[in-house]
Amino acid sequence: MIGWLTILAFIIIGIVLFKIIKSVIKTIIVLALVFLVISGIFIFFMVKDMNEFQESFPTAKKLFVLQEDGNIIGATTITDFSFGEDKGPAGYSPEGLMALNQAYSDGGLEAIKGDHYIIFLFTRELFQDGLSDQVPIGDSNFSKQVFIDALYGEEPSSLLVMGLSDPEKKEMARAKMLENMTEEDIRALLMMSGFSRVTDERGVLFTIDMMKKEQLVIYPEYMVFTVAKKTPRFLLGLFMKGE
């Protein structure tokens, strides 16, 4: 009698365990399917966003702004990165900067976006941390500190004539240069040249680090940038190596 009860107990326990295990397996399968569906949707939209960005960015209107202590001190709008001969990007006039700052003060980056596709906001720290000790401009090299001082100074053109020791020749060279460019045009040129040097020399991972620290702000933040900022650096490094 006891033997049959033992066998019956084992059967009952076996049935209960089977149902529990079956329920757990079913739950795991359902969760896995849900995860796969959500991941698939996320990847679909991320790839879609990335493709749209790659197609639109080269010819879209892009606003680049230089910020210092919460104020915009330089800005330029660029479409296709093709400039006239001996002519860099056109900087915003003092009046344009004043209007830009008023809008920025009232409503942040959204208020100054207008019909621009994207905004890049640069801080001093981006250039301070990202540039090498020597910054080439044209046929000359300048120290990082001289470059940054000129970029944020009232007369950026002073950087481009520092190689001349004669004060008279300096003024003549500046006057000649300013025939075709304003001080704000020169600031825009230095800003874009500096950013190009940072990205070329330090690479994508450093640029993403700057975004995480908000030393480089991109607005609106498309999904590809959001994912890049939230992905651990070592995973990004592995991904870059696989490219």
pLDDT at 238: 67
pLDDT at 64: 95
Dihedral sign of CA atoms 230, 233, 237, 242 in order:
negative
Using DSSP bridges, classify how beta strands 134-137 and 71-78 pair: parallel, antiparallel or unpaired.
unpaired
pLDDT at 85: 47
pLDDT at 179: 75
User: For residue 64, what are the β-bridge partners?
Assistant: 76, 120
Q: What pTM did the predictor assign? A: 0.76
Tokens 């991109």 belong to: 218
Distance from the Cα of residue 55 to its chain's centroid: 17
Cβ atoms of residues 124 and 68 within 8 Å: yes
pLDDT at 122: 94
- The Cα–Cα gap between 226 and 218 comes to 10
pLDDT tens digits in sequence order for the chain, 243 residues long? 555 666 666 667 767 666 777 777 777 777 777 777 776 776 666 777 777 777 877 888 999 999 998 899 999 998 876 655 455 688 899 999 999 999 999 999 999 998 999 999 999 999 999 999 888 876 677 788 888 988 998 888 877 676 555 677 667 777 777 777 888 998 998 999 899 899 888 888 888 889 889 999 999 888 777 877 787 776 766 666 644
What kind and span of H or E run contains 151?
A: helix 144-152
pLDDT at 39: 65
pLDDT at 228: 77
What kind and span of H or E run contains 216?
A: strand 216-219
Three-class secondary structure of residue 75 per DSSP: strand
pLDDT at 203: 85
Using DSSP bridges, classify how beta strands 62-68 and 134-137 pair: parallel, antiparallel or unpaired.
unpaired
Report which DSSP code applies to 92: P
Dihedral sign of CA atoms 165, 90, 69, 199 in order:
negative
